[in-house]
């Protein structure tokens, strides 16, 4: 089966300028050769810490940020070459939901206007149709028509995120990128939104790219996971397998660092020393070698290849290199 | 035995255009020497306001303690003058916050700020304080302390800044450390480092910690006892095992069920419907009633008593009204 989204060797390098005249002296590699594929109906999660490039990846996939190089195939055709108009039309299929619903909703607009806007840009609908569509979508995300006349500041965080989801859904897309959609919400509200996303996915047969730093949330929502560190993919696999048997030492450390809500499970952790290096000066060889508990001599000089370790399991680590 | 810290029927009012609004209501808590007490709750539960009141740091003119008392080793903190309180704040009770950037002065080097925090409660010379500061930064796991002394706050990462804050808080060897969401802004691998550090310092120095957080995972990891706050009240408290394994209050149970767990069987999350009410909309009865799956007729009109299940396990819910005696009504 053809994947709905295929990303090949995607790179986004930002020039690093120094000195008075802003001479370009290097590149910050926000994304450095990322590849993965998502099948229809899957939830592919990208996990990573600050500076891993996960948000850049989400935006680049929708070309909200232009890639430096690499391919993005949506339903088999490369969208990196598409012109403005074709890209605009593609927005009816590909949408994004952001972390901070307040920052992404115009404070001067009512909920109704916010939700009508994408319809007005893409279709010519009669006023009655607009009203009906907005009322329908509000119900789909668990709000009611009475919320339509409110302004964003009159809504709670959870309700605002529902509006953000409604805005993404109103064009009936096939594919949605979520960037930390529940990180700003309280636990009880987070659960409401996560179960809503699950229901929407099965009802509307949606495909999700789900970006998050929270591995418990990711384990709950995702079918597949990609682990990123400093602009590179460290490991990819089906989520249950990846979480029970992580291959890459970075994935192992990430999983070990999660505090679990079970006082009988206070275990010994792999506590990584040091901090994430700057993407302006990523370490040579394997980018993780400066913090890796298993670092070997070659790790500092030779970049590990992307290896298929078993069916569906991929990682970039010298530990799995066949000699 | 005198308790290290006692919060006795504490109520806090915020002033508003239409008169005072009670945001914290009848909070009763005790902290023993060397223990870690967690206060968990969602936004608007009153957990941070409670902690600010212990430090005497409620925003003046906006919020005030309306009823109750806070006692440190039997002595009321509320009756102290500002200068007496300042001494307590520097020496016996210290705080770290979620965002150390706002607590550090951006225009002074780290060295000067750590040194000053040492000199504030000891009569040390600049040089002695400098040596102590270097040692302290080393103790909180900063690998090149002399170098960090010369840095400005913005030059450090979030994790490093939190280490500096912990060093400054520990400078006076306080009896009590109040940590308000200290790891919420940090990445998970850095959070693990900071939690390890706090455990290590507590073990070495016997500091009691009040750990304020919304993260039940962090609570399970760090705390001996927990108090769960909802809408300005403590709805349940108990030791950590009891609370996670035998939670009684529907809100505590709801919170535990709405958290995705990392290990074990995958079950569909059970979300708590609705949202936390605004302090001006509190009902006369139980404040959780509107969202509660076990709601009964009396819940919205009559405030539930706090029922005692022994071993300091208390729960404020009408479901248990026949089972046990009320500790407080």
CB contact under 8 A, A215 and B254: no
CA of B270: which chain A residue's CA is closest? A191
In this predicted structure, the answer to whether residue B261 has a pLDDT above a threshold of 90 is no
Nearest CB to A257 within list B192, B263, B275: B192
CB contact under 8 A, B188 and A191: no
CA angle B203, B204, B209 (to 5 degrees): 50
Residue A258 touches chain B, beta carbons under 8 Å: yes
ipTM comes to 0.85
Residues of A in contact with B268 (CB under 8 A): 195, 198
| Average pLDDT score, chain B | 91
Residues of A in contact with B273 (CB under 8 A): 192
Q: What is the pLDDT of residues B16-34, one digit of tens each?
A: 888 899 999 999 999 999 9
Among all chains, which residue has been given the structure tokens 């925003």? B59
Residue A217 touches chain B, beta carbons under 8 Å: yes
Residue A198 touches chain B, beta carbons under 8 Å: yes
Q: Tell me the pLDDT band of A50, cut-offs 50, 70 and 90.
A: confident
What value does the mean pLDDT take over residues B50-59? 92
Q: What is the pLDDT of residues A233-273, one digit of tens each?
A: 999 999 999 999 999 999 999 999 988 888 887 777 788 88
Residue B172, number of CB atoms within 10 A of its CB: 18
Q: How far apart are CA A243 and CA A144, in angstroms?
A: 38
Fold assignment, A5-93+173-320: Rossmann fold (3.40.50)
The pLDDT, as a whole number, for residue A17 is 83
Residue A210 touches chain B, beta carbons under 8 Å: no
Nearest CB to A259 within list B160, B220, B273: B220
pTM for the whole structure: 0.89
Residue A256 touches chain B, beta carbons under 8 Å: yes
Mutate to test the interface with B, among A240, A260, A290, A292 (most CBs of B within 10 A): A260
In this predicted structure, the answer to whether residue B2 has a pLDDT above a threshold of 80 is no
In this predicted structure, the answer to whether residue B186 has a pLDDT above a threshold of 90 is no
- Taking only residues 10 to 49 of chain B, the set having a beta carbon closer than 8 angstroms to any beta carbon of chain A reads 42-43
Residues of A in contact with B245 (CB under 8 A): 263
CB contact under 8 A, A271 and B192: yes
Q: CA distances (Å), A278 to each of A19, A50, B154, B161, in order? A: 19, 10, 15, 17
Nearest CA to A303 among A12, A33, A53, A6? A33
Q: How far apart are CA A27 and CA A14, in angstroms?
A: 5
Q: What is the pLDDT of residues A101-158, one digit of tens each?
A: 667 788 899 999 999 999 999 999 999 999 999 999 999 999 999 999 999 999 888 8
The CATH number assigned to the domain with range B5-92+172-328 reads 3.40.50.300
CB hemisphere CA count around A262 (13 angstroms):
11
Question: Could you tell me how many CB contacts below 8 A there are between chain A and chain B?
Answer: 130
Residue B52 touches chain A, beta carbons under 8 Å: no
Q: What is the pLDDT of residues B206-255, one digit of tens each?
A: 999 999 999 999 999 999 999 999 999 999 999 999 999 999 999 999 99
Nearest CB to A260 within list B245, B262, B273: B262
CA of A215: which chain B residue's CA is closest? B262
The CATH 3.40.50.300 portion of chain B extends over 5-92+172-328
Looking at residue B78, the DSSP 8-state letter turns out to be T
**What are the strands, taking DSSP E only, across chain A?**
5-18, 23-38, 43-47, 69-74, 77-78, 94-97, 175-179, 207-212, 224-229, 232-238, 307-310, 313-315
Residue B260 touches chain A, beta carbons under 8 Å: yes
Mutate to test the interface with A, among B186, B225, B271 (most CBs of A within 10 A): B271
Q: Domain residues of chain A, as ranges?
A: 5-93+173-320
């Amino acid at each position: 089966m053809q994947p709905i989204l295929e990303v090949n060797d995607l790179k986004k390098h930002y020039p690093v300028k120094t000195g008075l005249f802003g001479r370009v002296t290097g590149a910050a590699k926000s994304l450095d050769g990322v590849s993965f594929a998502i099948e229809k109906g899957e939830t592919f999660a990208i996990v990573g810490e600050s500076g891993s490039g996960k948000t850049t990846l989400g935006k680049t996939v929708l070309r909200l940020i232009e890639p430096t190089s690499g391919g993005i195939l949506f339903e088999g055709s490369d969208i990196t070459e598409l012109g403005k108009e074709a890209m605009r039309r593609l927005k009816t299929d590909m949408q994004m939901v952001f972390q901070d619903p307040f920052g992404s909703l115009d404070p001067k607009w009512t909920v109704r206007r916010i939700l009508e806007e994408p319809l007005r840009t893409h279709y010519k609908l009669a006023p009655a149709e607009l009203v009906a569509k907005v009322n329908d979508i509000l119900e789909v995300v668990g709000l009611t028509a009475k919320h339509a006349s409110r302004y964003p500041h009159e809504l709670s965080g959870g309700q605002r995120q529902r509006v953000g989801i409604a805005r993404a859904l109103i064009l009936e897309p096939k594919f949605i990128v979520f960037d930390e959609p529940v990180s700003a919400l309280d636990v009880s509200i987070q659960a409401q939104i996560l179960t809503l996303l699950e229901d929407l996915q099965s009802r509307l047969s949606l495909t999700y790219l789900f970006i998050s730093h929270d591995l418990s949330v990711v384990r709950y929502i995702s079918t597949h996971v990609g682990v990123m560190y400093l602009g590179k993919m460290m490991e990819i696999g089906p989520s249950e397998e990846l979480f029970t048997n992580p291959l890459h030492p970075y994935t192992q450390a990430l999983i070990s660092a999660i505090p679990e809500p079970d006082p009988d499970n206070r275990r010994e952790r792999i506590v990584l020393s040091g901090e994430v290096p700057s993407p302006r000066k990523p370490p040579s060889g394997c980018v993780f070698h400066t913090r890796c508990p298993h670092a070997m001599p070659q790790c500092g000089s030779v970049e590990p290849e992307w290896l298929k370790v078993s069916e569906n399991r991929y990682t970039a680590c010298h530990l799995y290199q066949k000699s | 035995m005198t308790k290290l810290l006692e919060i006795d029927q504490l109520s806090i009012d915020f002033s508003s255009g239409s008169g005072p609004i009670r945001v914290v209501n009848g909070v009763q808590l005790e902290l023993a020497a060397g223990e870690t007490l967690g206060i968990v709750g969602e936004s608007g539960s009153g957990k941070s306001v409670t902690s600010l009141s212990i430090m005497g740091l409620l925003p003046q003119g906006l919020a005030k303690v309306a009823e109750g008392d806070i006692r440190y080793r039997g002595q009321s903190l509320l009756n102290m003058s500002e200068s007496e309180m300042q001494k307590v704040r520097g020496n016996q009770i210290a705080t770290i916050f979620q965002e150390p950037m706002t607590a550090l002065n951006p225009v002074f080097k780290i060295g000067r700020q750590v040194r000053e925090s040492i000199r504030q409660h000891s009569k040390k010379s600049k040089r002695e304080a400098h040596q102590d500061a270097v040692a302290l930064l080393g103790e909180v796991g900063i690998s090149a302390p002399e170098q960090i002394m010369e840095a400005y706050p913005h030059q450090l990462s979030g994790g490093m800044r939190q280490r500096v804050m912990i060093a400054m808080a520990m400078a006076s060897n306080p009896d009590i450390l109040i940590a308000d969401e200290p790891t919420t802004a940090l990445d998970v691998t850095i959070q693990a480092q900071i939690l390890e550090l706090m455990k290590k310092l507590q073990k070495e120095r016997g500091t009691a910690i009040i750990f304020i957080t919304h993260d039940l995972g962090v609570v399970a990891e760090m705390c001996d006892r927990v108090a769960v706050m909802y809408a300005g009240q403590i709805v349940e408290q108990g030791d950590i095992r009891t609370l996670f394994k035998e939670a009684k209050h529907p809100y505590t149970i709801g919170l535990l069920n709405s958290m995705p767990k990392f290990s074990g069987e995958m079950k569909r999350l059970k979300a708590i419907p609705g949202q936390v009410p605004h302090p001006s909309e509190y009902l006369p009865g139980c404040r959780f009633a509107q969202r509660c799956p076990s709601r009964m007729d009396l819940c919205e009109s009559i405030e539930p008593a706090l029922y005692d299940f022994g071993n300091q396990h208390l729960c404020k819910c009408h479901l248990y009204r026949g089972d046990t005696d009320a500790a407080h009504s």
